[in-house]
Amino acid sequence: MAKPPLVFLVTVLLVHSCIVASVASLSNFTDLSALLAFKARITIDPDNVLAYNWTTKSSFCSWIGVFCSQHRQRVTALILSHMGIHGTIEPRLSNLSFLVSLDLRNNSFHGYLPNNLGQLRRLRQLYMGRNELEGMIPPSLSQCQELEEIALELNKLSGHVPRELAILPKLRVLLLFNNSLTGTIPPSLGNLSMLEKLVFSNNSLRGSIPQELGNLHNLQQFNLLDNQLTGSLPSTIFNISKLQIIDLSRNSLSGCLPTNVGYGLPNLEGLYLGRNQLSGHIPSSLCRCGKLRYLELHRNKFTGSLPREIGNLSNLQQVYIYFTSLSGTIPPSVGNISKLKELDFGDNNLVGNIPEEVGHLLNLEILSLGINHLSGPIPKAIFNISTLQIIALTSNNLSGYVSTTTGSRLPNLEMLYLALNRLRGRIPVSISNASMLSVLELSSNSFDGPVPTSLGNLQLLQILNLAGNQLTNQPDTHELSFMTSLTNCRILEELQIERNQLKGNLPDSIGNLSTSLEKFNGAVNQITGRIPRGIGNLSNLITLDFGVNDITGTIPSTIRGLDKLQRLFLDDNNIHGSIPDDLCTLMRLGELVLPKNKLSGPIPNCIGNLSQLKILDLNSNLFTSLIPLSLWSLRDLSFLNLSHNSLHGHLSGEVGNLDVLEEMDLSWNQLSGNIPRMIGDLQKLSHLSLSSNSLQGLLPQSFGNLISIEFLDLSMNNLSGEIPKSMKKLLLLKYLNLSFNRLRGEIPNGGPFTNFGAQSFMGNDALCGVAKLKVPPCPTDVPKSRTKLQLKYVLPTIVSIAIIFVLLSIVIKLRMKKRHAQIPVDISPGMAHRMVSYQELLRATDNFSEANLLGAGSFSSVYKGTLSDGTVSAVKVLDLQHEGAFRSFDAECQVLRNVRHRNLVKIITTCSNLDFRALVLQYMPIGSLEKWLYSHNYCLDLLQRINIMMDVALAMEYLHHNFVEPVVHCDLKPTNVLLDEDMVAHVGDFGIAKILAADESTTQTKTLGSIGYIAPELSLRRWVDASLPHAVMEVLDPNLVRGDGDSSTVRKQCFSSIMELAMDCSMEWPDERTNMKDVVVRLKKIKLEFVANVEGSSSSNH
């Protein structure tokens, strides 16, 4: 066969070369197009790398991040990690058919992973972690059969883990942690025989861990932390001998650890099973994992004891087995773990002593054994471990003393927690040598002695808690000097010294404490003196508590500087004065607790500015104002207690604004008027007390809307009408007190009323009901046969009454035109009283101005006035809105029209018309006895007190025995005893007095009003027996016989005699009490003896 000519061969070679070059050029163009398309989707390129470098002026193989094969110049790697690029993934990257590695980690790519990435058949490494990718993981990745590593962590990927990934035979790394993946773990992943790392942590995977994962014999890291996995631990996992890390914490796994857990894990370095529901014992075989460095079994349900062999884990650096149910003792072998840095067995049921061997752990940084039942002393060797940063032994039964060298050998100690133990002795001064200390918690022990002033050397201290000990102040000092030393702690945030025995004054230096201070608690310490004005410098204070002390003085105006304050507790002190308006500037205040002080004056109107207030407690003070309307605008208020004051006026209907209120106590005040129906809007109210006021009118039907009410006390008022049937709906009501009112009608039967007894309803007018309530039975229903008779006779009667009512209304309207016409009342036939008109009273009192107001009571207000003839008088104007006001006026007129006695208030005249009633009385310039007993500016000596007692006794003797008809005052109290310019006492205010007519056996007492000191049978039974006028106990005030502080023998004898007389007047049974005639005789004798003894003592001294 002839050989082809040479020319032919050359031609063939040239054509082949051209074809190869043409194909190569076409492939390069495909890669170039894919890269330029990728660049076009980049929206942010902070360093302009792609903008300036990725241009067609140079070969793409020279572009930054692009790597090509040496011969064909095809793209084999695209690596643009950590460049801060924003954009989406271009689908045409799948055209880079020679791509082996795609690395776009740590950028801000968003959108979806293109499904056609599965076309990259040569791809081995896919790194897309730390971006903002979303959507599902493309199942098409399973077509990339060369894939060895998939890293898609820290994105926003969702959906299931594709089961198709199980057919990637060369996959070694699968990182999908910190996404939003759901569903179960595909059992087919157990086929990935080359897998070394499987990390699915921080997703929402559920279901159980497949047993098939035990087939991953090359697995080194297995991490399913923080998912929603359930079921038991597959025993097959603990046979994977190459495993180094097992992290299954923060799931809901249950069951027990396999007893052979440690036999098949020779290379295990970290076992993390915390925050599950695992139970049973901790297997001792776990201690065979000789390479274990990290062991976390905390927050499970393990029982039993710690393995005795735990000391065999010689490489252990961290062990956390807190918050389980372990019992038993701490194994002494723990001292053999010489590399241990962190040990936490807290919050278990461990008992016994802390082993001395713990002191051998010379690398220990954290020791936490708190909240157990450990006892005995703290080993001294612990305080010699210089590496320690945290010692937490809180809430055990540890006893004994704290080493006197504590702190000297702890240069790295930052936190010391020894609270809630039984430690005693002095706080070691050496503790101040631990200069790195930021938290010192020694509360609730029995430490005694003075608080060391050396604590001020701890300049890094942030929290100091010494509460609940027996600590004292430095001897021979009146001020709490240790507080001055603490001014050196410039970053102090919490100072708690409550419940000690400090007994000293707050120093002025308190204002120099750290401006970082947020919590300052000095309650229950017998602290005395005033609140220093410098307190206002603590501008970051959130909580201030000095309750239950002996603090005096006023609330300083500088408190306005605490503009971040949220809680203020000054309860149970001796603070006086008014609440300063400066307090109303604390706009963040949520709890204001000031009860059991001597605060007086009005509750400031600006209280409504405290819009975040949730708790307001002002009970047991001396407030005398109306309840300010602004208070009802505090919409977040959940607790309100204004009880035991002298607040008056009506309860505003705006109370219904407090729709989150849970407890309200307004008892023991002088509130009057009706209970507003809007109170039924308080549907979260569980506790309501309005007892011991002068409220009147009907119980509102809206009480039935108080669906959360559990405690309701309306006793000791003047409430009338029937008990609303709607209250049967109050199914949560456990306590009800409606006693001593004027209620009538049937007591509801059913609902909560089945649980109440007679005490809930006693002392009312005409209640009826079941026998167990000790009230009469209710009348039976009217028979139906009487219905026609009722229609025939009753209905015409009702119509007639209605017509008469209309006619009367017309007449009244005509007469209203003459409303100021004088209608004098003849209060004393045969006695001359001057005539006073309404207009003259208006002029005399300057239109009843507040400036002339002398005082106010249940039914009336008293004004100072100057009549046209120059007479200075007291004008008592009745509030006719009160149901008992007319009776009060009539009673007082009836008593005063005929009485004539030096020690009774003299009536000048009256003024009365259809809608106005007033008494014009003798003016007493010195004021009431109450002012002289309770004001700091007035003082009575013992002789003055005896004279006042004599005056009052003479007045009572006259009323009880020498008047035409016996009179019982029923409201004798210091406010109703007035003093003239000669300090002579005059008894007044007969608005509720009872005249005992000779022909009446019993007088009903239904208008008790503001009850003063009165015999118990009157306040409970509300009647006076005419046969015992001499025995009615008219007590005035025990403070009248306190004495003036002089402890001489003469005064002691006098005081003893007065107290003996007082006891005789206070016998339980009326007929055993001393009558007023005898009281006057005995008081005269006491006075004569006292004067004689004083004069005799005075002469002997000369």
Predicted pLDDT at 450? 96
Question: What is the pLDDT averaged over residues 618-637?
Answer: 95
Tens digit of each residue's pLDDT (9 = 90 or more) over 281-335: 999 999 999 999 999 999 999 999 999 999 999 999 999 999 999 999 999 999 9
* 91-94-99 Cα angle (round to 5): 135
Question: How much of the chain exceeds pLDDT 90, in percent?
Answer: 65
Q: What is the DSSP letter of 107?
A: S
Q: Is the dihedral of CA 772, 776, 779, 780 positive or negative?
A: positive
**How far apart are the C-alpha atoms of 955 and 946, rounded to whole Å?**
14
pLDDT at 1022: 38
Across 259-268, 396-405, 519-528, 910-919, least confident range: 910-919
d(CA 196, CA 185): 17
Binding residues for ATP: 876
Average of per-residue pLDDT across 793-817: 47
pLDDT reported for residue 886? 64
Q: For 421-430, 620-629, 830-839, which range has the lowest pLDDT when averaged over its residues?
A: 830-839
Can you give 156-208 as a three-state secondary structure string? EEEECCCHHHHHCCCCCEEECCCCEECCCCCHHHHHCCCCCEEECCCCCCEEC
Which two tokens mark 640?
Answer: 């309100």
Q: Are 676 and 651 in contact (CB under 8 A)?
A: yes
Contact 707, 733 (CB under 8 A): no
pLDDT at 1039: 53
| Nearest alpha-carbon partner for 96 in 143, 149, 38, 54 | 38
489 Cβ contact partners less than 8 Å away, ≥ 6 residues apart: 455, 456, 458, 459, 461, 464, 513, 514
990 pLDDT more than 70:
no
Helix axes 1049-1064, 942-957, angle to 10 degrees: 20
816, pLDDT greater than 60:
no
Q: Which residues of 503-537 are buried (b: 16+ CB within 10 A; e: fewer)?
A: ebbbbebbbbbbebbbbbbbbbbebbbebbebbbb
Question: Would you list which residues are annotated within the binding site?
Answer: 876
pLDDT at 847: 85
- Please write the tens of the pLDDT for every residue from 956-976: 888 888 776 677 767 778 888
Answer whether 980's CB lies under 8 Å from 986's CB: yes
| Banded pLDDT at 1067 (limits 50, 70, 90) | confident
Q: What is the CA radius of gyration of the chain?
A: 45
Q: Which DSSP letter does residue 479 get?
A: B
Kindly provide the b/e burial profile for residues 199-225, where b requires at least 16 CB atoms within 10 angstroms of the residue's own CB: bbbbbebeeebbebbbbbeebbbbbbb
pLDDT at residue number 189: 97
Q: Which CATH superfamily is domain 647-780 in?
A: Ribonuclease Inhibitor (3.80.10.10)
* 882/508: higher pLDDT: 508
Average pLDDT over residues 106-116: 96
CATH class given for the domain over 927-1100: mainly alpha
Which residue spans of the chain are classified as CATH 1.10.510.10?
927-1100
Dist. CA 655–CA 682, nearest whole Å: 8
Q: Which residue has the tokens 């025989």?
A: 193
Chain segment 908-938, per-residue pLDDT in tens: 888 877 778 888 888 888 888 887 877 666 7
The mean per-residue pLDDT over the stretch 205-217 comes to 97
- Vertex 119 angle, CA 118 and 123, to 5°: 75
pLDDT of residue 1098: 61
CATH of range 838-922; options 3.30.200.20, 1.10.10.350, 3.40.50.300, 3.40.50.720: 3.30.200.20
Lowest mean pLDDT among 364-378, 589-603, 818-832: 818-832
pLDDT at 743 over 80: yes
Give me 1091's structure tokens.
């004067």
3-state SS, one letter per residue, for 695-754:
EEEECCHHHHHCCCCCEEECCCCEEEECCCHHHHHCCCCCEEECCCCEEEEECCCCHHHH
Residues 6+ apart with CB under 8 A from 966: 959, 960, 995, 996, 1026, 1029
Known catalytic membership, residue 971: yes
Dihedral sign from CA coordinates of 699, 704, 709, 710: positive
pLDDT tens, residue by residue, 500-545: 999 999 999 999 999 999 999 999 999 999 999 999 999 999 999 9
Count of CB atoms situated within 10 Å of the CB of 277: 13
Asked which of 29-38, 458-467, 934-943, 1038-1047 is least confident by mean pLDDT, the reply is: 1038-1047
Query: Would you state the torsion angle of the CA atoms of residues 365, 369, 375, 377, taken in this order, to the nearest 10 degrees?
Result: 10
The pLDDT value given to residue 486: 96
Q: For the residues 694-723, what does the mean pLDDT come to? A: 95
**How many Å apart are CA 520 and CA 512, to the nearest integer?**
13
Compute CA distances 757 → 735, 968, 1022, whole Å: 10, 33, 21
pLDDT tens string 760-797: 999 997 899 998 898 999 987 544 444 444 444 444 44
Q: Say yes or no to pLDDT of 1024 above 50.
A: no
- Per-residue pLDDT band for 14 (boundaries 50, 70, 90) equals very low
pLDDT of residue 42: 95
pLDDT over threshold 50, residue 18: no
Q: Residue 430 and residue 416: Cα distance in Å, rounded?
A: 14
Of 642, 696, 641, residue with least CA distance to 669: 642
Q: Is the pLDDT of residue 1020 over 80?
A: no
**Are the C-beta atoms of 458 and 436 separated by less than 8 Å?**
no
Which of 465-469, 729-733, 782-786 is predicted with the least confidence, judged by mean pLDDT? 782-786
Nearest-angstrom CA–CA distance, 114 and 128: 12
User: What Cα–Cα distance (Å) separates residue 589 from each residue in 494, 586, 611, 1045?
Assistant: 18, 6, 8, 42
The model's pLDDT over 323-359, given as tens digits with 9 standing for 90+, comes to 999 999 999 999 999 999 999 999 999 999 999 999 9
Would the CA dihedral through 667, 671, 674, 678 be positive or negative?
A: negative
Q: What was the pLDDT predicted at 321? A: 97
More confident residue, 910 or 471: 471
pLDDT greater than 90 at residue 213: yes
Region 359-384: mean pLDDT is 97
Flag the least confident range among 140-144, 609-613, 848-852, 1001-1005: 1001-1005
Which one from 951, 971, 989, 1037 is the annotated catalytic residue?
971
When pLDDT is cut at 50, 70 and 90, the band that residue 901 belongs to is confident
What pLDDT sits at residue 978?
86
H/E element, 1016: helix 1016-1021
Looking up tokens 């009342």 gives: 825
CA angle 1065, 1067, 1071 (to 5 degrees): 90
Distance CA 470, CA 425 (A): 10
The per-residue pLDDT for 794 is: 46
Give me the percent of the chain exceeding a pLDDT of 70.
84
CA distances to 181, 239, 251, 257 from 234, in Å: 22, 10, 14, 9
1076-1101 and 942-957 are packed helices; what angle lies between their axes, rounded to 10 degrees? 160
**Residue 660 above 60 pLDDT?**
yes
Q: Where in the sequence of the chain do the CATH 3.30.200.20 domains occur?
A: 838-922
Beta bridge partners of 110: 88, 132
Burial of 50 (0-12, 13-18, 19+ CB in 10 A): buried
Banded model confidence at residue 634, pLDDT cuts 50, 70, 90 = very high
Quickly list H helices, 474-565.
481-485
**How far, in Å, CA of 895 to CA of 873, rounded?**
19
Q: What pLDDT shows up at residue 824?
A: 36
User: pLDDT at position 1063, please?
Assistant: 79
Question: Residue 1101: pLDDT band by 50, 70, 90 thresholds?
Answer: low
pLDDT, mean over the chain: 86
Residue 80: φ, ψ to 5°: -130, 40
- Integer Cα distance of 643 and 526 in angstroms: 25
By CB atoms closer than 10 A (0-12, 13-18, 19+), residue 2 is exposed
Residues 290, 374: Cα–Cα separation, whole Å: 29
pLDDT of res. 1014 = 55
Q: What pLDDT digit, counting tens, does each position of 60-75 carry?
A: 999 999 999 988 899 9
Strands 872-878 and 422-425: unpaired
